[in-house]
Structure formats: structure tokens, C-alpha cells
Amino acid sequence: MLKKFVSTMLAAAMLAPSAAFASFNDVNEYSAEYRMLSELEVLGIAEGDENGSFAPYDSVTRAEFTKLLVTALGEEQAAYSLTATHFEDCKGHWAAGYIEAGAADGFIDGYDDTHFAPDDNVTYAQAVKMLVAAVGYTTYAENSGGWQAGYLRYGSSTGITRGVTGVNNDTEINRLTAAQLLYNALDVPLATIEFSGTRPQSIINDGKSGREYKTLLTERHDAYRVKGRITDTSRSSGLRKGYVNYQVEVSDNFDGEAYSKNNADTFRIYVGDTDMTKFLFIYTEALVKKVDDGEYTMLSIKAK
């Protein structure tokens, strides 16, 4: 179903300068924001309303932002099973399970032990704090000033706040800003706790000095950003219909491996009915999802 779904959406977007999942009618289809939202949608993180609108300038509540983040963490099914909540003002709330899942993961806090204020609009500082915690940098942020300065510092240094302008700490952010912050967080190297003997040690999984490269994108969605070239399509060679050969030339992590121009490799990737001949031999950036062992589907592609 995913292959058929992505194939249809890729084909629908080929009039744009890039190909990606696309269905929002209130965002300029030629904009960077459109591509960002399209990727979030195909990953199952963001969605529009029944009319195909994203409402980019509407405000976002604390409950809504928590749902987005729990979904980005791949824990939506776990949230469905949580019915009890220790926050008194979340009992019976539509987002109670998401909020409890976020609290259990340690990336959200209430205003006190029993009040979360789920229907308050989320502020810039609150959203950044949740994201910094979700990718594992709580200890670093606490040791660097804590709330708010430490979290904002790591929001900046990790790239979570990249491209966000016109806000201050107390700004109630809109849906577009929330999406930008979340999109950035998907590619932040995860900080995880590992043990050396009995002593815990925080490891930043940035692919350097023998460390693995792990992000929310790779670990929770089996999706990878790669750069390279389409070298064959079913229209230009004898490839099976709906597939291309993609030479991965640059990637910090494509299904567990790093690639460079001196260590490139070619993969067969499903693109459905989309005509990819316009991208032949052009240097591109693609978002690729692993759907089975050795089977990949292209979610988006753009010329670099």
C-alpha cells in the first residue's frame, strides 16, 4: 500500500521543480515550505484537514504539538493504549494518551505535577525544549543553564531552530513554525545513554570517530536522506517498470552505511509511475524509505 500511495503522490507532483508527496492547497507548491510539509505528510507526521488545507498560520496547542512529536517518535500506537493520565486537566482529553506517552518519555513537563494545560497555545521556548529533550540532549541543556537558556542554546547548536525567524521565547508559534522545528529535529544526531562498565555515558550518534549515525528519521522511520544520481530508469533501460537505479554518492547513513563519492553504491528504488527521466544523471537529493529488506521507495527527490 505504501508503494502505491507514494507512487500516486510522486506522479501528482512532477509539475513542480522537485517530486514529493503533495496535497496542501493553501501552501505555494513551488516553495521550500511545501516540500518540507510534503515530506512530513508522507512520513505520517503532519496532515491537513478534510479539504486538503494545512492552515499554516493557525496556532498550535500544547496538546497538538505533543501529538506531532509523539508521532515523529513513532510511538502513536503506544499512545493509543494509554488511557490514564497523571495530569488532572488531561483526564478525558482527546490527547491524553499522547501527553502521557510524552511524559513517560521525559520530553514534556506540566506547569506542575498535575497540570499540563493541554489547550494553551505552545510557545517557541516550550516547543524547542520538547524537541531538544526528545532527541536526547536534556542533560546537555540542563548543564548549560537549563530552562530556558540551555534548551534554546542546544536548539540552536543542533540545528533544530534553523530557518525560524521572527519569534521570541514567548511567541505562540503557528503550524508552519511548528512544522519547521519538527522537520529540523528529524535530522539531529540522537544523543543516547550507553554504559561503560556500570557508568552511564552520553553518546552523540553523529557518525564521527567510529560512532554510529542515528536520527529520528533513520531510527523511527527507516528513512534516509541521500545525494547522488539516477543512472537508469525503466524508460531508459531494461529495468522493471516503476524502478530506477540510484547511485548513492553522499550519505551519513543509508540503511546503516555511510557513503561518499569514493565509496558510492547503486540501489534499485521504487518510484511507481513517476517519469524520472528528467532527473537522469543529475545530482539530486532524495528521501528514501526502507519498506522491506533490500526494498526501498523514493519519497521525494530534488535537483541540487
The answer to whether 8 touches 242, Cβ cutoff 8 Å, is: no
Q: Where are the domains of the chain?
A: 222-303
For each of the chain's 304 residues, which pLDDT tens digit applies? 444 444 444 443 333 334 444 568 888 888 888 889 989 998 999 887 777 888 999 999 999 999 999 999 999 888 888 877 889 999 999 999 999 999 988 898 889 989 999 999 999 999 999 999 999 999 999 999 999 999 999 999 999 999 999 999 999 999 999 999 999 999 999 999 887 677 778 899 999 988 999 999 999 999 999 999 999 998 877 788 999 999 999 999 999 999 998 899 999 999 988 889 899 999 999 999 999 888 999 999 999 8
The answer to whether 223 touches 254, Cβ cutoff 8 Å, is: no
The yes/no answer on whether domain 222-303 falls in CATH 2.40.50.320 is yes
The answer to whether 202 touches 270, Cβ cutoff 8 Å, is: no
Q: Output the pTM of the full model.
A: 0.88
Give the C-alpha separation, 38 to 128, whole Å.
Answer: 22
